[in-house]
């Protein structure tokens, strides 16, 4: 009976919520068991950033980074312009446009973010409303 209860508890543990913070710099965050996801939009640059910080592991120094969004609007985005920080725990990407990333987060069920040799699965349950708030914040900053 114990062996059946442990997986059940894992499946029923509450998911960390997505959260949009609306200010001079727009912020969207999410916690998983293994990573912290942090997106920003800074209108003074203008620049979007994505940082995925691992809690108990480091990212490998691989030549590319990609996100595959899984769900009704699947898309894969890749770049070789990522950087590592925090002794390899944080993978950073920046660009002047993030519409494909935001579409992927808002309209899919799962994101698989990774390099050639390692990755993170990010649940997108309940992300849509907060992603829309982030988009609205970024649009207001442009106006």
Query: Within a domain: residue 135?
Result: yes
- Residue 15 belongs to some domain of the structure: no
Within-domain flag for 98: yes
- Domain-located, residue 2: no
pLDDT tens digits for range 17-48: 899 998 899 999 999 999 999 999 999 999 99
Q: Residue 53 falls within a domain, yes or no?
A: yes
pLDDT at 68 over 50: yes
Confidence at residue 142, expressed as pLDDT on a 0 to 100 scale = 63
Q: How many domains are there within the chain?
A: 1
Residues with Cβ < 8 Å from 27, sequence gap 6 or more? 20, 21, 38, 39, 40, 134
Q: What is the mean pLDDT of residues 111-132?
A: 96
Does residue 51 carry a pLDDT above 80?
yes
What's the mean pLDDT in 62-89? 97
pLDDT at position 138: 87
Residue 100 belongs to some domain of the structure: yes
Q: What is the per-residue pLDDT for 143?
A: 58
pLDDT tens per residue, range 77-104: 999 999 999 999 999 999 999 999 999 9
- Residue numbers of the domain that contains 135: 21-141
Q: Residue 76 in contact with residue 68, Cβ under 8 Å?
A: yes
**CATH number of the domain where residue 73 is located:** 2.60.40
């Amino acid at each position: 009976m114990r062996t059946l209860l442990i997986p059940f508890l894992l499946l029923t543990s509450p998911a960390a919520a997505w959260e949009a913070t609306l200010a001079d710099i727009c912020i969207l965050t999410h916690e998983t068991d293994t990573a912290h996801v942090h997106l920003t939009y800074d209108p003074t640059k203008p620049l979007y950033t994505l940082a995925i910080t691992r809690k108990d592991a480091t990212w490998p120094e691989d030549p590319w980074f990609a996100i595959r969004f899984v769900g009704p609007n699947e898309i894969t985005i890749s770049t070789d312009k990522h950087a590592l920080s925090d002794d390899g725990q944080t993978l950073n990407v920046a660009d002047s446009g993030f519409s494909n990333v935001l579409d992927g987060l808002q309209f899919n069920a799962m994101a698989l973010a990774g390099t050639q040799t390692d990755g993170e699965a990010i649940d997108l349950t309940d992300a849509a409303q907060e992603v829309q708030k982030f988009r609205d914040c970024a649009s207001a900053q442009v106006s």
